[in-house]
Amino acid sequence: MEIRFYNTLSHSVELFHPIDANEVRMYSCGPTVYDYAHIGNFRSFLFADLIRRFLEVSGYRVHHVMNITDVGHMTEDAVADGGGEDKMQVAMRKLKEGKKSGKAQEGAIENPDDPYQIAAYFTKAFLADAKRLGMKVAFEHPQNVLHATAYIDEMLAMIRDLIERGHAYAAQGVVYYSVESFPEYGKLSGNTLDKVQAGSGGRVSEEELATKRHPADFMLWKADPRHIMKWDSPYGQGYPGWHIECSVMARKALGDVIDIHTGGEDLIFPHHECEIAQTCGATGNDRFANFWMHARFLMVEGEKMSKSKGNFFTARDILGGKATGRAVHPAVLRFELIKSHYRANMNFTVKGLADSASAVRKLIEFRQSLDEKTGGEAATVDASHPVLKTFLEALSDDLNVSGALGVVFPWIAGDHPDPHESLAVFQEINCVLSVAPIEPFEGDAISLEGEGEELPVNDLCRQMDDARARKDWSAADTIRKTLQDAGYEVRNSPNGTVATRQLA
């Protein structure tokens, strides 16, 4: 099966072949941990997860690495030489003022003046969210989820190499990458040097221009003893630039040339452009990642998500019901965020969430019916099975999820004479979708039961059965109303009434 992906580097869909025949090396730009990750972040992370899962089902071993940016970068970092306020400092202040996207748990952070504690707290929150949403790499922390602060030495080593190779220079306590030393600079984004220069009008301060050889030169290290997080270096005590960590960690974990590098579209420039310049400058290769893949931005109800518009949602906001007024099952949020094509802006809406809930319910119930019929024993199938084949072929066309789902639903609705075989097929499909259940899952990811709720759900169902047996319709209707108002879907059947929690 031929796999095709859109490559930002070439602006076209290309045939995908990993460097090694069987293993794919893939790096994804991960979160900064100054706050809770929002649904836009997760759209991008789940896009990477989807690539990984698809490649795995297609027969590849995937070594997927993601970074955690826990270095306190400056708010006006890249343009200049680190102006603005330290992000970690902002995080600390906001935490104290209770202005975070969500409340930190009481007592979770002993000392809000310690940036490492802030970072540790939000890292933990991120990993918890990521696991709930079925992001495989989150289950591989810490071996495949790397912390920037653990690679300062390697960053300094790469900076040293870049200076030695003539790609970087120190000026007034700042080490800059010299973009003119790298002719390929601008290839990824189309922001070639002449254009960067032309477009920079007014934004680059005179002070900065005086120290930089070219206005687009970007920071690798800044000596600043006042910075909260700081490390010793030959260039003075200070902190690294915000692009260098990815170059370093990707190289360290995956090698000099990798297969796939993912991120949100906003990272194309300057972040990924700079990563390429750094890595290639340090390795001497003309390539860093063979495929650069970027997810487009997520909109909320047709508008760009922003705190000021009040349409800003963290993953835990959604799961907790902030948008819908009712708790949302993680599989529903996952499905909603992966169901549309990654290269189109996705519009996140409450209605879309409800649609996804119906779809996910269908998948979960189908899975449950197969489990019941087979006792969980699946037959053996491989990718040549007609349903799987069509499913994977859709995905192999630049991750055409909609096309793939267009295979799954009609198949589900059809006849299943051999439930063992169907279960095997479904399991494979679910290795990619990971919604029925979320895999690998923790706890009650698949459960639709209302255990531990304030309502005695099972008792009410039995009471309803009794009332129906007595033909006491008004009593039965009252019970149904009670359950529905509490967020349950109620189904009567000859085998007894069943109430399941609404998914969203």
Partner RNA sequence: GGCGCCGUAGCCAAGUGGCCUAAGGCAGUGGAUUGCAAAUCCACCAUCCCCGGUUCGAAUCCGGGCGGCGCCUCCA
The yes or no reply on residue 76 touching RNA (CB under 7 A) is yes
**Is 347 among the residues that bind RNA (CB under 7 A)?**
yes
Residue 273 vs 428, nearer CB to RNA: 273
- Which listed residue (163, 293, 346, 423) binds RNA by CB under 7 A? 346
Distance between CA atoms of residues 494 and 504, nearest Å: 27
**Which residue in the set 72, 115, 238, 270 belongs to the binding site for RNA (CB under 7 A)?**
270
Please report whether residue 77 would count as binding RNA according to CB under 7 A.
Answer: yes
88 binds RNA (CB under 7 A): no
Contact between 351 and RNA by CB under 7 A: the answer reads yes
Q: Binding residue for RNA (CB under 7 A) from 44, 178, 430, 502?
A: 44
Site for RNA in 213-252 (CB under 7 A): 242
Distance CA(222)–CA(83), nearest Å, equals 11
Question: Least distance (Å) from RNA to the CB of residue 38?
Answer: 7
Burial group, residue 325, by CB count within 10 angstroms (0-12, 13-18, 19+): exposed
Q: Is 469 in the site for RNA (CB under 7 A)?
A: no
d(Cα 47, Cα 295) in Å, to the nearest integer?
Answer: 7
Round to whole Å and give the CA distance between 21 and 197. Answer: 42
**Contact assessment for residue 363 and residue 425, using Cβ atoms and an 8 Å cutoff:** no
List Cβ neighbours of 414 (8 Å cut-off, separation of 6 or more): none
∠ CA 167-169-174, nearest 5°, is: 130
In the complex with RNA, the residue whose CB is nearer, 427 or 492, is 492
In whole angstroms, give the CA distance from residue 409 to residue 391: 11
From 93, 470, 491, 496, residue interacting with RNA (rule: CB under 7 A): 491
Question: Which one, 160 or 350, has the nearer CB to RNA?
Answer: 350
Q: Please name the residues in contact with 182: beta carbons below 8 A apart, sequence gap of 6 or more.
A: 167, 277, 280, 281
- Choose between 44 and 233: whose C-beta lies nearer to RNA: 44
Contact predicate 50/57, CB 8 Å? no
Q: For RNA, which residue of 46, 79, 244, 253 counts as binding (CB under 7 A)?
A: 79
Of the pair 81, 259, the CB lying nearest RNA is at 81
> Among residues 167 and 271, whose Cβ is nearest to RNA?
271
Instruction: Give the binding range for RNA (CB under 7 A) out of 75-83, 326-334, 421-429, 445-453.
Output: 75-83
Q: Which residues contact 83 (CB under 8 A, 6 or more apart)?
A: 74, 76, 77
Residue 12 backbone phi and psi in degrees, to 5: -155, 165
Question: What is the footprint of RNA within residues 119-178 (CB under 7 A)?
Answer: none
> Which CB, 226 or 471, lies closer to RNA?
471
Element (H, E) at 502: none
Which residue matches tokens 């992001």?
Answer: 135
**Contact pick of 7, 41, 67, 144 for RNA (by CB under 7 A):** 41
212 binds RNA (CB under 7 A): no
Per CB under 7 A, 203 contacts RNA: yes
Q: Report if residue 304 touches RNA, rule: CB under 7 A.
A: yes
Does residue 492 bind RNA (CB under 7 A)? yes
What CA–CA distances, in Å, run from 322 to 102, 161, 316, 325? 11, 49, 9, 6
Q: What are the CA-CA distances from residue 117 to residues 27, 138, 148 (Å)?
A: 26, 20, 15
Cβ nearer to RNA, comparing 169 with 411: 411
Q: Which is nearer to RNA, 165 or 470 (CB)?
A: 470
174, 196, 289, 504: residue in contact with RNA (rule CB under 7 A) = 196
Least gap, CB of 412 to RNA (angstroms) = 8
Options 64, 339, 367, 420; binder of RNA; rule CB under 7 A: 339
Q: Considering only the stretches 125-133, 326-334, 337-345, 439-447, report the one whose residues sit in contact with RNA under the rule CB under 7 A.
A: 337-345
Query: What's the chain's length in residues?
Result: 504
Asked if 14 is part of the footprint of RNA (rule: CB under 7 A), the reply reads no
How far from the centroid of its chain's Cα atoms is residue 483's Cα?
35
Stretch that binds RNA, among 111-119, 133-141, 191-199, 432-440 (CB under 7 A): 191-199
Q: Is 476 in the site for RNA (CB under 7 A)?
A: yes
Shortest distance, CB of residue 257 to RNA, whole angstroms?
22
CA dist 217 → 31, 169, 175, 227, 339 (Å): 24, 10, 10, 22, 39
Contact criterion met (CB below 8 Å) for 182 and 167: yes
- Return the residue of 266, 301, 371, 466 that touches RNA, per CB under 7 A: 266
Minimum Å distance from CB 77 to RNA?
4
The nearest distance, CB 22 to RNA, in angstroms, is: 27
Q: Are 245 and 71 in contact (CB under 8 A)?
A: yes
Asked if 465 interacts with RNA (CB under 7 A), we say: no
DSSP class per residue in 328-356: --HHHHHHHHHSS-TTS-EEE-HHHHHHH
Task: Check binding of 82 to RNA (CB under 7 A).
Answer: no
- The binder of RNA chosen from 111, 172, 402, 447 (CB under 7 A): 402
Residue 397 touches RNA, criterion: CB under 7 A: yes
